[in-house]
Structure 1
Amino acid sequence: MKTEPQNQPLQLEWLALHRDNEKYEHYSLLIKLTTITLTFIGIIMQQPALLIINFIFILWLQDSIWKTYQGRTSERILLLEQAIIDDKQSTTAFSFYRQWQEKRPNIFNLVLEYIKSSMRPTVAYPYVALIILTLITP
C-alpha cells in the first residue's frame, strides 16, 4: 500500500473495516456453535422437531444477516484497496454508511439478499445438517 498523505484516511478506514470484518466471521462461528449446542440440547431433551427446526431457521437467518453485512464490508474494503493502489483521490474515506444508504435496496430486495446469503455453502452447511439430524432423530 502507498503511504502518501492523501491515502492515510483510506488506509485508516481499511484497517477499521478489516478488523470489523474479522469480527463478523467470529460472530458467525459463534452463531453456528450456539445453533449446534441448542439443537443437541433440544434433541436430548426430546423437544418437538418443529420447535428445534424453527430455532435453527431463526439462527440461520441471523447468521445470513451477519454474512450479508460482512459481504458489504468486504466490498468496501476491496474498493478502498483499489483506490489506494491506483492512488485515486475520488474515493472519499469514511463514507461506508452514506454510500450504502444511497444504494440501499427496498425491503423485498433486502430480504432477498439475506436469503441468497443463507444459501451460500459456507453459511448453509451446518444448518442443513442439523435440520436433517433433527428430522431423523426419534
Structure 2
Amino acid sequence: MVKSDLASEWCLLQNQFDSYEKYSLLIKLVSVVVLSAVFFSNRLSVVVLFLLLILWLQDAIWKTFQSRIENRLLQLEGYLSNKQTPEDGDSRAYQFNSVYSKSRPSTIGLIHEYLHQAIRPTIAFPHVALLLMAGSVLFVS
C-alpha cells in the first residue's frame, strides 16, 4: 500500500465529489428557471410537472453517483488515517470501479438507490416545493 497513491486518489475523488454537488445545485436551479419561465409565460401544463419530476429524478441519480464516490472517499480516509485495515485489495489506489463493481446492486437495487436518494430532504425539498407550486397554480386555477 503506497499512501501517496491513496492520497492522490483521495484528492481526485474529493474534487469530483465537490463537482457533483455543484451540478446537483445546477439541476435544482434549472428546475426553478423552468417553472419560472412557464409560469410567467402563462404556459403551465401537466407536461411541466412531468419535466419537473424528471429533473428531480435526474438530481437523485446524480446524488447516487456522488454517494458512490463518498463511500470510496471514506474508505480511503480510513486507510490514510490507519484506522481501517485493508480488505480484499480495496486499499490499492485507483480501484474505484473495481471496488464498486463488487457491491453493484441489481437493476431493482439501482432503482431503489435512486428513489432513496430522491426522498432525502436536501434533494426532495426544492423539487417538492416546485411541484406543489406548479400543481397549485395548474389545478386551482
TM-score, normalised relative to structure 2: 0.89
1:37-85: per-residue Cα shift (whole Å, max 9, x none)?
0011112222343111101110001100111111110111010000011
The one-letter code matched in structure 2 to 1:73 is I
| Number of the residue aligned with 2:30 | 34
Kindly indicate whether residue 25 of structure 2 is the aligned counterpart of residue 14 of structure 1.
Answer: no
Which consecutive unaligned segments of at least 5 residues does structure 1 have?
none
The whole-number CA distance in structure 1 between the counterparts of 2:2 and 2:100 is 23
The whole-number CA distance in structure 1 between the counterparts of 2:114 and 2:12 is 24
Return 26-35 or 94-103, whichever deviates more.
94-103
Q: Residues 5 and 93 of structure 2 are in contact (CA less than 8 Å); yes or no, is this contact kept in structure 1? A: yes
How far the C-alpha of 1:92 sits from its partner, in A, is: 1.2
Q: Residues 49 and 135 of structure 1 are in contact (CA less than 8 Å); yes or no, is this contact kept in structure 2? A: no
Which consecutive unaligned segments of at least 5 residues does structure 2 have?
none
Counterpart of 1:117 in 2: which secondary structure? helix
| Number of the residue aligned with 1:69 | 65
State how many pairs are aligned. Answer: 134
Kindly indicate whether residue 75 of structure 2 is the aligned counterpart of residue 79 of structure 1.
Answer: yes
Counterpart of 1:46 in 2: which secondary structure? coil
